A and B are shown apart, each in its own frame.
Chain A
Amino acid sequence: MKPVNFDYYAPTSVEEALDTLAELGYNGKVLAGGQSLIAAMNFRMARPGALVDLNNIPELSYIKPTPEGGLAIGTMTRVYAVEHSPEVAKRFPLLPEVAKFIAHPQIRRRGTFGGAIAHADPAGQLPSISMVMNMKCLIKGKGKEDRWVDAPDLIIGPFMTVIEPDEMLAEVVINPLPARTGARYEQVSRQNGGYAQAAVASIVTLDEKDNCKDVRMILMGVGELPILSTKASEILVGNKPTKEAIEAVAEEAAASEIDPATDLHGTAEYRRSITRVLIVRSLTEAFARAEKGG
């Protein structure tokens, strides 16, 4: 299928992009990597009246260390670049680990880090990871003050964020993780590169006594939106992350925190069952990595 017609703008600076977005209002849509948007447009499911193409603004593409020791990633940085960046791998090994599961390399070469997060696909790995890593999102708008939104507050519904039509996500900052932190992403999909039927990402920190100091665990594909688990912290924080404790998290989280759907590819019960499995796998490996030094 072929897309519907649209007006096209190719600004060469952030300022110009924001001017254009302000003029277009609800009629305008940002074109970042296009890997989700253009596919939807080809199906004529998305019919934006105007596209503001950000691909001609090189200053939106960067991976820069922050003074705190984290990273600032420009919104147009390609997912592939994030996946293969030594700076990212050094500080946040969870990101390249997750990136390998996102579709296929040809999609990641073009898809953008910020674009994926702003698209807020509940089945997308990056929006979920942004939430569990508590990334900070910089939103810019013409005539507005720059505002920072925490990733869990950015996404308010499936494919819905707090980004207004005249605004754009300009940068994502990831703050450094404390020492003795480990992370692990686990998913079950039917094929390599396919959507996850269920996925778990956990980031855990140990204290000097090898007790769990902090745990952030996100459950994907098993509810309308990705779910930040509260059971994980309830059960684990302040305690030893034993096999039994981890299994208890898995039991309770899978029983009470999720609301999986039944679809073509699997039943709700199956998804619940594999969520349990993935929680155990994810937490076990994350804690093992934390012990080894992250």
Chain B
Amino acid sequence: MTAKYLSQPIKRLEDKYLLTGNARYVDDIEVPGVLHAAFLRSDYAHAKINKIDVSEARKRPGVVAVFTAEDFGDFWKPGPLQVPPPTAIAGSKFNARTIVPIAKDKIRYSGEALAVVIAESRYIAEDAFDDIIVDVEPLPAVIDLEKAWEDTSVRVHDDLPSNMAALVSQEVGNYEEAKKNADVVVSKRMLVEHVAGAAMENRGFVAKWDEQDQQMTIWANTQSPLTVRGSVARNLGLAESQVRVITPYIGGGFGPKVMTSLSDDVLIPWIARKLNRPIKWMEDRRENFLATTSERDQVHHCEIALKKDGTILGFKDVFYHNTGAYDSYGMTVPLNTQTHTISNYRVPNFYTEIRMVFTNTMVVTPVRGAGRSEGVFVMERMIDFAAKKLGMDPTELRLKNLLTAEEMPHKTGIIGQDFVANVLDSGDYLDNYQKCLKAVDYEKFRKEIQPKARKEGKRLGIGVVAFTEGTAVGPYEGCKVTISTNGKVTMATGYSTQGQGHQTVFAQIIADQLNVKVEDVKVITGDTGSFAWGAGTFASRGATLVGTASYLAAQKVRAKIFATASKAFGVPEDEIELGEGFVFVKGKPENKITLGDLAIKANPMRGVVEPGVEPGLEATAYYGPPHGATGSGALAVIVSVDPETYKVKIERFVMVDDCGTIINPLILDGQIDGGVSMGIGNTLYEKMVYDENGQMLTASFMDYLMPQATDMPKKIEIIHQHNKSPLNPLGIKGIGEAGAIPPGPAICQALEDAFSEIPLEILESNLNPSIIYDYVKKARNS
């Protein structure tokens, strides 16, 4: 059976609704009688609460209720740990301090909710903020990571002896021993700085309680509807079947919408039931910056030890990771950093230590890249610094140490975010890098293009880096595929969608197995009423896990088609053929049964059935991998720098990416393009900044700069590699985050190359022309 749709550039089935204003997002959900919520948020980053007086606010016309922590009584409690602690890692220390739904007794970050106003309109709810009197005693704010670790005089959590949230170290081999044999050792301190997911759609939540049916219906743009369902059920003492969570169209996820224990997730359903009125909350952009999670913010102390021929003997990385005021999401981000540091390379001795610290900032959880970007950044930078010390071209040093296909699968010895030992399942990292060098014409650049530019006084530089992207982690996902009596196919999965084209890619896989038209397959994502098992959309796992589950479920349905047809025609199964939407006996196509009619036959309304036969042409399948599949690639970037203003322009951008089997090349390239724009954005435009008092200075698009069309290179050149993953039948690896990971270190390498006559050394990830100016000045003076 040839695949008609797999790997084809099928145009997306969902687009015609999105393009014409016919797609409902959460703020478009209208429920009769709805009331609007608004959260009064703290201006202080760290303060003791004396009293929050909402009595005047309650009197305002149009205000229906105002709640503070006290009003929730016993319902108020710290939320669940959304990710288990790292007990799988020997010697790990972890202090769970999970996020609270609304501040009680103490404020721990600027933007923390202090009160929630329920009113007839959002406008009136915000008016009520002026009526609320907040009496607090400000405390010094804990912001600097290294200082937070050392200084115990001011603690984010007073019941702990310090601000240590976790201490986790892992080692492969013995770094200190290996270092003794090194010819060259390079040590650097580097920063990987704070960025926001900043999806174009902010968070939103609508809850409707039906008192008569005792049913809670929720519409939310969450990446984890099943987790929301579970936690709402638990919080309210309901059975899961009493809670239905529906994800409408979602305007981008990128990570922060996977947090399911924020104020909205916890409080809105309770309020809806308490007031017996539907409640809608729509976050605004300022709140999204302040009170939705964001990521990166690490300080690394790295050391690399090499022989003079460039062989890497060992790598050491002690890093401080900011978890923010709470650590509900466990260690996912820094564990990703640990598994993505040496991941491209042959490094027999590796010591990595996470010093996770509480600060008075909003909580850190994954944003596209999710800790991987940080690991790749520091490794690629250290290789560049080592190359300079060795007098080697940075590409030479990489070519010497990159892992090859023969070395796969490769056990790295590091436990990752899925709590199993990380295994690099497939890929040829050396080949990725070599192809990248060839595609960008590295030789020509070095021998002709760059020297010519130099003569003309132009600053042109090249950077070529390697990266891995761990994807497709467990635990599992599933789906149910059903052929309806009208012959069309429906697939339902608990997985949710934020623009990745799930309605199309899963339909492609299923259509191939069932021999139907792809447009006749309807995919329902993220409605717990349709499918109620799964974990959530994160870690680039949809294509692999849901894709595989779709394949397996469709195969089961295919088997049922043949079994049912065999009975219907009274012939053995091997005499049945499956045409496009119908079955027939080989050689007798004129006598066919449509799939719709076959579905009716498969569900008899009278009579008896054989034991073990399930009704209908329907099947459910689950897929959970033994460990994640790792995508990989390389990126070459050529930049030009205005020698007077230090503005950076990306002249060429060539990426090699290996995600195994490609389901839909259009959607694949779109995912890469989007990740790239975030990676470039993070490096040259975006930076989330808190001042020393914990005030966020970048809580709007005026100060948090998002990449625009003219900031991007003209063409993102992509070369695909196809090393299939051995872990799943279709050979798929994830791709969602790949684009975001390598641009930072590639641009840094290229900038240093553009100024190669001076010892330019970039030690931080988020740049702007003024920062580059400072680095150049420092290098010139040294």
Contacts and interface: CB of A to CB of B under 8 A. Distances in A.
Contacts, number: 55
Contacts of B126: 1-2, 44
A191 B705 contact: yes
Interface string A248-274: 000000000000000011110111011
B710 interface: yes
Contacts of B284: 1
Nearest to A2: B123
A49 interface: no
Given A191-B685, A277-B644, A277-B645, A270 B773 contact: yes
Contacts of A194: 705
A265 B645 CA distance: 13
B123 A191 contact: no
Contacts of A266: 768-770
Interface residues of B, number: 26
Given A265-B770, A266-B769, A270-B769, A190 B698 contact: no
Main secondary structure on A side of the interface with B: loop
B449 interface: no
Given A1-B126, A274-B644, A190 B769 contact: yes
B555 to A, nearest CB: 50
Of A44, A191, A273, the most chain B CB neighbours within 10 A belong to A191
A188 B645 contact: yes
18 contacts: A1-B126, A1-B284, A2-B122, A5-B123, A44-B126, A188-B769, A190-B685, A190-B705, A191-B685, A192-B708, A193-B708, A264-B687, A264-B689, A264-B698, A270-B646, A270-B769, A270-B773, A277-B645
A179 interface: no
Interface in B624-653: 644-647
Interface of A: 1-5, 43-44, 188, 190-194, 197, 264-267, 269-271, 273-274, 277
Nearest 6 pairs between A and B by C-beta? Answer: A266-B770, A270-B770, A277-B644, A2-B123, A270-B773, A188-B645
A3 B121 CA distance: 12
Nearest to A262: B770
Contacts of A277: 644-645
A267 B708 contact: no
A2 B125 CA distance: 10
A230 B250 CA distance: 56
Given A190-B769, A274-B645, 11 more contacts: A1-B126, A2-B126, A4-B127, A44-B126, A191-B711, A193-B708, A264-B687, A267-B773, A269-B773, A271-B770, A274-B644
Contacts of B698: 264
A43 B646 CA distance: 33
Contacts of A43: 286, 700
Interface in B685-712: 685, 687, 689, 697-698, 700, 703, 705, 708, 710-711
B647 to A, nearest CB: 7
A8 B563 CA distance: 73
Contacts of B137: none
Contacts of B708: 191-193
Contacts of B53: none
B441 interface: no
B472 to A, nearest CB: 35
B682 to A, nearest CB: 14
